[in-house]
Each structure stands twice: as C-alpha cells, then as structure tokens.
Chains A and B, each alone.
Chain A
Amino acid sequence: MKKICLFLALVTVLTSCVRDVVLDAMEDPLLAVYCVLKVDSVQELKLSYAKSAAMTEAPRVTGATAVLTDLTEDREAGRFVQVADSLWQLEYSAIPTHSYRLEVTVPGKEPVWAEQTMPAEPPVESETKLIEGDRRSVKTEGYGYRFTKPCTTWISVEGFDRMEGYSVLYAPVGELCTDYPYVDDFNLTGKVWERDLNEPMNPFVKLVADRYYLSGYPLHRDFLRIPKAEEQKQSFFRIDGDIKTSVMTGGTGGEYKAYSYVYFSALSDDYDSYLRDAYQQYYAEVSEDLSSIYLRENLHGNIHGGIGIFGAASTIRFYRMYSWGLPWQNQVLDEP
C-alpha cells in the first residue's frame, strides 16, 4: 500500500527527516532541435542542449553543421549558417508538397535527423454570401470563408495594435470565435464572445449587429484549429473576436476603417501534434494550478537521436478590411 506517503508527510514533519533531492537521471545532454519549414525566403533552425536537473545551465552548441535535403528532387537544398548563439539560417523557400530531410551533426555526437513533407497551401477561399436575418427581415451580404477540400488548418488573426508614425502595427488577436461547427475545442478559454455594441454605429448597424456578430460563440485562445474532415467543404463560416478596428486611415468623410490579416496554415502532421502539445505546456508553465506539477507528458517530437520538432507549414493570409466594424461586410483586399 502506498499509504506510506501519508506516513511520509506526517513523519516528515514530526521528525524533519527531509532533504532536498535532485533526481538527475545522469543521461547525456540531448540536442534540442526546432525548425519549421515555411514558404518564406529564409528558414530558421534553433539548436540548444537540454539541461539536466543537476546542471546550472545547459551546455552551448558549438560546431554544429545542419544540412537540408530536398528528398523529392534528391538534392541538397542548402546548409544552415549560424547567425546567433543558438540560431542558424538558410536562404531557401520550402516548396509545398516536397519532402525534406534535416540532419544536424555536432562534433563528437551521433547525427540527429528528421524528415518532413511540406504541406500544400490550405484549400480555403473567401466568399460573400447573402445572409437573411429573421429580425425585421434584414438581409445583407455576409463575408466568410469556405474550404474547398478537407485539410487540418490553423487560423490566426493579426489585428490593429498601434500606430508608429505612419506605420500600422499589428498584433496577434488573443481570443477568436467562429461559427464553424467542427472547430477543435481543446483551446477553449471558457468565455463566450460578447461584442460591445455601445461603440459608435449607425442605426442600421445597431439594428442588426446583435444578429450578425458572433456574440455568444465560445472563444478560443490564440487560434482556431480546424481538424481535417469531409464536412469541411459544406460549411461557410465566419471569424470574429477581439479584433481591434479603430484606426483612421484618413479616408473620406472621417470614415473609420481597420485592416487585419487572417492567416490560414496547413501544418504537417508532426507539427500539428507538436503545436497542440506546445499550447498545453506553454500555458501550463504559467499556470497556477497545482495539478500541473503532475504533468509528465512530453511535447510531440520527431527528431531521431534528439528532442524537438522538424515541422512544416504552408500559410496563406487574407488582408481583410473592416468597414463599419461589421464582419459580414468585410472585404478581402489586395494587400497594399
């Protein structure tokens, strides 16, 4: 019986036979790899050693060579160059649907490696649709998105943050909601979206706003994850949330307009699993929940001989304009 723990607790306090312990399993330091291939022109690789419980700090990675190979074309895509203490870069744009192999060699250690296939761009398109409201027979055109074929997709939004001079700065929107019925619920915040309707609006907006905003929909933290499913093709859906809309662009008539970016990312399976775990751990780290100390799950990884992730993501984004702050009247614009 493990009731001894109780005994432990008591006798411990009664007798003070307690001492600190560092349970270092004394294993060789593992190389931690983080690299997510993107269609961007520069690929980044982050390398570091894991720190065991007995170490004051992790050893530095020195003399590492990292090679990216395009397995589809059977040629070397390039060699990463160290640009900072733990950062390596490679000027290369990953090609969707191509498979890649990353191999990192540190002198005196066995090479660590992983393989990954770059996903195709997410099959999503923007769409305008007539939405009929049952309140005073209001009809208007609504604006949203639709998948053209099934694909696991992560959606995030960057909204207006602040102006710096004439530059508009954007920041990730922390809480999002959608009327898409099959969204993954694992990152629910526990709150529902309630738009403040006291902001200046014209009478028409006020009339229909509570109908067409996604008020009452559950909020998701940081992103919306859409799992791959056949039903994806059937759903026209909208995205709402705490997307700041108050920026004057100097338009005519003092019209307020706001712009935002909506990102749709197709992730490789490994990166999808990793990111799901990383979400949990990232927020558990700052958690005040005592039960988090009992969490013993590792982040998903695919690095052979090491830890970490070699992932791939293809991202497209929509440049969206809010007009009157109404989601169904938003337009996708050509980016400036």
Chain B
Amino acid sequence: MKRTTIFLLLLASVTCAAQQPAWLDTLDAAVKTDSRRIEQRLGHLQTGIEGIRAIVSPVGEGDPIRWVQSLPGVTTGADGTTAMYVRGGSSGNNLFSLDGVPVYGYSHILGLTTLIPTSVTESAELSKGGFNGDESNFTASHLKVVTKQPSQSRKWSAGLNNFLLSTGAEGPVGNRVSYMFSARISPLALEYKAVKDKLPRMLGGLSNFGAFVGDVYGKINVNISDISYVSASALASQDRYRFDMSHSSHETMGWNNVIGILQYHRNGDNTRLAVTASYNRYGSLQQQEKRYHSVWNQLSLSAGLTEYSLQTKLHHSWDSPFALDEGLSLRYAQFSPGQVGEMTKRTDVILATPWVQATYNIPEMLSLKAVLRGNYYHSQNMAQTSEKRGSGRIDPEFSLAAKWNINPQLAFEATFDRLVQYYHTLEGMPVGWSLDLIVPTVGNVLPEKSLQGGAGLSGHFGSHSLSVGGFYKLMNNLVYYKYSQELFSGGLAGWAQHVELGDGRSYGLETLYEYQHGDWYGRASYTLSKTTRENFPSFYDGAPFHARFDRRHMLNATLQWKGFSATMILQSGHWENGEAVTYNAYYFDHSFTSKYYSGVNNYHMPTVFRLDLGWQKTFKLGRSENTVNVGVCNVTNHFNPFMLYFDAETESWKEIALMPILPNFSWRVTF
C-alpha cells in the first residue's frame, strides 16, 4: 500500500513539475456562488456545474457520473469507477446523453471519469421516472448532460491533475458567432516512463505500459436572429492501453467515440423548435495474450456501433396551464458485436419514435404530465448476402407524472412508466473482461421492457429538505449471454442463439436529505432495495436470484464547509459468481474432477466503505483566476474488493481493490 501512495504522489509531483497549466474553466463568479442543492421535479434530479465539481474523485474534481452515484436509487458498480445501476436495471439500461445525443462509451481514463469535460458542462440531470417524450430507448434512467453556450468574452484556461492535462478556449467571433474548445490528454504513459526508470520496483510486474488517452471537444454557435441559432459540436475520445502484467501476460484494450451534433433552435413566444442531427460511432477492443499451461493463448474481442439520428422537438404553450410537446426521433444504426478475426455479423437497425407530451401546470400547486411514444423498430442481418432477412415490430411506451403541493412546504409526487429498449448490453461476460458488448434486438432476442411506478413526499423546512419515496419495478426480456467461453472462438458471430432472456424485479425505499446554511452544505442519501433476476431457464430452473449489483443498503453522505468537503460511502457488497464445488465425475471409465456451479451471483462480496476528503481554494493571481483542489480518496485505506481476475501464472482467482488511499490534485487557471 505504501508503494501506492508513493507512486500516486509521484504522479502528482510529475504533473506539478511539468508546469503546463491546462484546464478550462469558464465559470462566472456568480455561478460559483449558486446553490449546490439538488433541484427536484417530477422524477428528475438536476444540478449545476457547482454541484458536479463538488464531488471528490480520483481525478481531483467530480463529474456527472460521480454526482449521480451519490443519489438515492443509484447503485454503483465497481468502487471508484463510473458504472451505475438505477432502480435494479442493468448498466446498459441507462441512457447517457450529451445535448440529447446518446454517448455509448462514456467511460474515460481507466474508468475514473467520463469523457465530457466539466469545463464545457452546463448542467446534469438524472431522470428515474416520469420521463419526457424525447427520452427513449432505455429502461432505467437517463443522465442528461447539457453543454453550456460559449461565453461572449474571450477566455483561455488550462489545468492539470493526476491523470489529465487540459486546455481550452472560448469567445466570440464577430457579433453572431461564438466558439468553445477543449482538449485533454493523459500523461499516463509519460508518468509510467518516469517512474519506471527511477523506481522500477514500485511497478511490480507491470512493464511495457503504453497509453494514448485523450479527448477533444469543440462547439460553434451561430445566432441567426434574436430567437434562433444553430450550433455545431463534435466530441472525439480515445482510450487505448497496452501493458504486460508479467512475462506471460500481454494486454491491450481500448475504446473510442466520435460524435458530431448539428442543432437548430428557434425560441418563439409560445412555440419552441429544436432539430438535432447527429453522427455517433463507438468502438471497443480488448485482447489478451497469456501463457496458460505453457501454451500461449490469444483471446480477442472487438465491437462497433455506428448510429445516425435525426430528432425534432416542437413545444407549444398558451396563456393557460396547458402545454403540448411533440416530436420525432429517427435512428439508423449498424452493429458489429464481437468481431473475432474476420468473422463479423453486422446487423442494421432502424428505430423511429414519434411522441407527444401534454403538461398541465398550476405553479406552486399542481403539475401533471402525460407522455405517449410509439416505436417502430426494424432489424436486418447484413451477413446473409443471399437472403437478407429482416423483421419489424411496433411497441408503445408511456409515462405519467404528477406533483401535488399539499402546502408550501410539502409535496406529493408520483410517476408511472412503461419503457422499451432495443439496444442491449450483454450480461454474462466473462469475469475480468471489461468490454460492454452492445447488441441490437434481433429475431428471438426481444426488446427489453420495464414497468415501474414510484411515489413519495418531499418537504422543505428552512435550511433542511427531505424526500422519501418508494419504487417498484418489473423488467422483462433482460439478456444474458450463456456461453462465455465461446466468445473467443467465433461463437459470438452467432450471439443471438446464445442469449437467454429473463425477467427482473426491483423495489425499494429512497431518501434524500439536504441541508444548506451559510457555508455549510450537507447531503445524505439512503436506499434500501432488493433486486432480483428470474425466469432464466438455465439458472435455478427460472427461480429468482440476486442481480449482480443488488446492494441492499446504500448510504452516501457529503458534508461541505467553505472549501472543505468530506464524502462517505457505505454500501452492501455486490454479488459475484461463486466458485464451483468440485466432485468426482466419470467419462466412460475415466474419472475426472468436474465443477458444479450451483448458480450465478451466489457469492456476496464484503461491504464497501470509503471516506474521501477534499479541499478547494480559489484565488486570483494577476489577471488569472486559479483553483486548486487537493484531496484524498479512501482516507481509511479500506480494502474495497471489487472484482476478480484470473491469474494465468498462478492459475487462481484474485480479488482487486480499485482504490487504496489515493491522493489527488488538480489545478485550474483561467485568463
């Protein structure tokens, strides 16, 4: 553990010594004094950039996912990483969007943060129920990240932290055009080289480490008139790593995103129009080369998804409590999951979703919302050149939401949703394989569906606010990939035959408490829930079993005072596949040791506990404004086991803690 601390401190000092400020911060001073309190409305929780940045994280400051992970109803995946599970759904049941466009590979820098720079982020909003009409193709939650509009004054900024160097700029070009730019790159490979030469023993068995990690974001705004503008933005990210775990293990893995967005907005007195066209490409690759039983084995998986979309949204309001929204979303996507060598099975899909949303709002008294969506989905297997078979289907969705202000302090809120999702993230990937394989609905792999309801009370009492609610959720057609071993033999080309469909059920109690007074801000969220999977024929004869991240208790608490902050996480352990029992079996007259797996997710990992401390200081130095964050994650150095990997050298499973005590540092300067 000491080696950890030394190494990470060294990383920090290396970046400090570099003296290459690179962080974009375009926050106005006024924004920085905004409330960090979460805004709640009809199943939606929203925060500004201040609430996001206040979260302590390994990279020095928070990001939208870190903020979401501190909310009720949200279960984290591995400790310290960006996985999230909302109200019993799978990780792939969440939609992460950037300005309304899905981001399929949002993880960045070894899973420590997301690929959306906070410097271009305006706000984040998590929806768990009562969804809007333009939110579709998911069954659990929607994390909506909205970028800000470029500033009308010129700014340049830079920053650094343990893992990233960044720079950015924004400003006007003439009267009508403004721009915003951000670029980040990780110096991990350079840090490795520095450490390798000076303290080679500190790296244990790691050798030949190489990484290319970075992202670029740019946005141009053109004001056409006082009520309309066009914006074009693009985001490209790359995560690519290679390293040798030992002389008998070589690893390569990576993923990348390219997203282009073109938007037109027109804001009239009683009508608003938004049109968005986007291009989205996500690719991933993981390779292992390991010596096993004295023989070199090469395992490889890669996947790709390319999506083109067009979305329109029209809002009408009248001089009455009534408002109407309608829109249409069109998508064309190409999936290539699990390419092994030249063996590829491409499937093309079309998804058209018209929707209509009606709202009735009497301020401070009553809000009602009703949404109806229709989905037309068509998939076609492009691998069959002689006979390209396709299939189409229609699935309706709806959402209902109501909020009744019982009195000025107390409100009752309820939501009810039926949701459909056509893109699946395969569960059942082999332990130790990090890739999420996204596959489309095709043939007998039906779309996932969920039916959920939630209700609760929320109250504001001076500096205190409290919400208490419950939810109940049923999930259908959850996908599980049964034959992990065949992933590496070309078997995934026929993945649809190996997918098993089942159901899920989740229910629980969610509470959120906030306190804000003067320089003090505190927040505590607690979730008591139970999540099961059932009706998978291969497991327990269809009987219920634990969902992998079925954490019974989740407590997240944050306390902030001036620049200091402390965050505590206490969560029940998640569930892993228990090791098999072994017994004597016979193949004709040959006796051999066979393994018997009594089921899946039958081993309960230990409780997770983490205490993070941070301190932030903002000061002016000449014309520049500087912000320094210093913190320590996992102050108590609690061993939070997360996952297992197979050590081919010792031929045993090992348990890994993601975050030992981990100091972090970041510095931002804005001119």
Contact = CB atoms under 8 A, between A and B. Distances in A.
Interface string B586-624: 111010111111101011000000000000000000000
A291 B429 CA distance: 12
Contacts of B593: 285
29 contacts: A4-B111, A5-B433, A6-B111, A6-B241, A6-B434, A9-B645, A12-B656, A13-B206, A15-B3, A16-B1, A17-B660, A19-B639, A19-B654, A21-B654, A23-B577, A23-B578, A25-B578, A27-B602, A30-B598, A34-B585, A52-B579, A278-B587, A281-B587, A287-B293, A288-B292, A292-B485, A293-B292, A294-B431, A298-B595
Contacts of A22: 579
A95 interface: no
A292 B483 CA distance: 11
Nearest to A36: B586
- Enumerate the 3 nearest inter-chain pairs by beta-carbon distance, A residue then B residue, closest first: A5-B434, A25-B578, A290-B297
Contact of A294 (B112, B430, B580, B659): B430
Contacts of B407: none
A96 B91 CA distance: 54
A3 B598 contact: no
A46 B584 contact: yes
Nearest to B655: A21
A16 B77 contact: no
B99 interface: no
A7 interface: yes
A120 to B, nearest CB: 21
B654 A290 contact: no
A46 B591 CA distance: 11
A196 interface: no
B603 A25 contact: yes
B391 interface: no
A295 B642 CA distance: 21
B243 A10 contact: yes
Given A6-B111, A7-B110, 4 more contacts: A5-B434, A282-B587, A291-B299, A293-B292
B485 A294 contact: yes
A275 B579 contact: no
Interface in A1-55: 1-25, 27, 29-30, 32, 34, 46, 48-53
A308 interface: yes
A18 B598 contact: no
Residue with the highest number of chain B CB atoms closer than 10 Å, among A278, A285, A294: A294
A1 B91 contact: yes
Interface of A: 1-25, 27, 29-30, 32, 34, 46, 48-53, 58, 86, 156, 172, 222, 275, 278-279, 281-282, 285, 287-299, 307-308
B578 A24 contact: yes
Interface residues on B, range: 35 or more
A175 B480 CA distance: 37
B78 A13 contact: no
Contacts of A24: 578-579, 603
Given A3-B110, A5-B432, A15-B4, A290 B583 contact: no
B582 interface: yes
B485 A17 contact: no
A7 B253 CA distance: 11
Nearest to B586: A34
B204 interface: yes
Contacts of B641: 19, 21
Contacts of A51: 581-583
B83 interface: yes
B294 interface: yes
Given A14-B206, A290-B288, A307-B596, A4 B584 contact: no
